[in-house]
Amino acid sequence: MTTIWRAATLMVAALPLLAQAPPASTMGTLTAFRPEAAELEIKADNGSVFTVKIAADTIFRRVQPGEKSLKNAEEVHVTDLSTGDRVLVTKAPDGVTARRVIVISAKSISSRDEAERKDWNVNGVGGVVDSKKGDEIILRSRSMSGQNHTTVVAGPNTKFRRYAAGSVKFSDAKESSLAEVSAGDQLRARGKKSADGQRVEAEEVVFGTFLTRAGTVLSADPETKEIKIKDNADEKTLTVKVTPDSQLKRMPAFGGMRSGAAGAAGEQGGRPGGSHDIAQMLEHMPAAQFQDIHPGETIVVSSTKGANPGQLTAIMLLTNAESLVRMAARQPAGQGGASSRGMGAGGMGGMSGMGGFGGSEGMGGIELPGMLP
């Protein structure tokens, strides 16, 4: 009894200390601001939605994307917030009122992402890992002028990230290392390029295992954003899930695609029909909407390799793609650079070149980008 009494006494004595413990903070996205109720609605990163009250003494600070501390934080007001902003909310002890809200504006995030995307395209290289020796990774890719090889050199400060199964967003790749890079992986790297662009001293590397599939649309459900296709490789039915982060493009008539590709080649200093690749072509193709997808048409889709081989989550989806499939089928066998087993069989979707629906027979080694900065 004495022992129990002492334990109870210690717990009572500790209650003031527990009450003073700093409350946990929650990261999420601002989904609504209701001035009449003086509250914010936030979707937390774990998917839950909650509201917090705003008080006269709630502290608001804004930081730029990538900041690790509040040293350069700017004082703002609740009226400066916009839906889509990223917020870190610390509640007051009552568990209802926001004590402090740290904001990263959606506009700043968008500007940063666009700048990074351009940097990846200008200073980046991509392809399939052909081999790895020491701190050097050899990539292979294909353009219309043939197969290319690029050397990626990793250093002690090179940052490695790997796509998780089912992942769509480039920014969601998880921390990894050079040791996890294997032959057959799809990889993008950016850093200091050599004058000929064939060697890169990498600052950042992102890689993963991808699939590319092509098939005929059987149905497209606008409610669930799911597409049923008949896979060209084995005629099995696949389910393709389209998310808000999936990129949809519509392939124009073949002549229009060649014109756009030639433009891309010109911008890169290439010649029409020469060194341009499918990633550059896609930049010039118009965006598509889900409602543009109809039964009977051919689509090509890239996805990470997930646990269920019958389901794909689209990273890039190209509609009206029959001419691309026909073009690939006309290319001589063996130019894909890998095994010859039907389009997409064991397929590794690519990043930056006509490098193969996984080295599929009759497809000529065409890849649809799987990594999109």
pLDDT at 369: 56
Pairing of strands 311-313, 39-44: unpaired
The pLDDT, as a whole number, for residue 87 is: 95
Fold (CATH) for 2-104? OB fold (Dihydrolipoamide Acetyltransferase, E2P) (2.40.50)
pLDDT of residue 256: 46
Phi and psi torsions of 113, nearest 5°: -65, -40
Q: In the prediction, which pLDDT does 348 show?
A: 30
At 330 the pLDDT is 66
pLDDT on residue 245: 85
Burial 38-74 (b: 16+ CB within 10 A, else e): ebbbbeeeeeeeeebebeeebebebbeeeeeeeeebe
Residue 145: per-residue pLDDT: 63
Domain with CATH 2.40.50.320 in the chain: 2-104
Q: What is the pLDDT of residues 262-296, one digit of tens each?
A: 444 334 333 333 334 566 677 778 889 999 899 99
Cα separation, 88 vs 90, in Å, equals: 7
Segments of the chain scoring below 70 in pLDDT: 1-23, 142-146, 253-280, 328-373
Q: How confident is the model at residue 335, as a pLDDT? A: 46
The tokens of 327 are what? Answer: 């073009």
| Rounded Cα distance, 118 and 224, in Å | 32
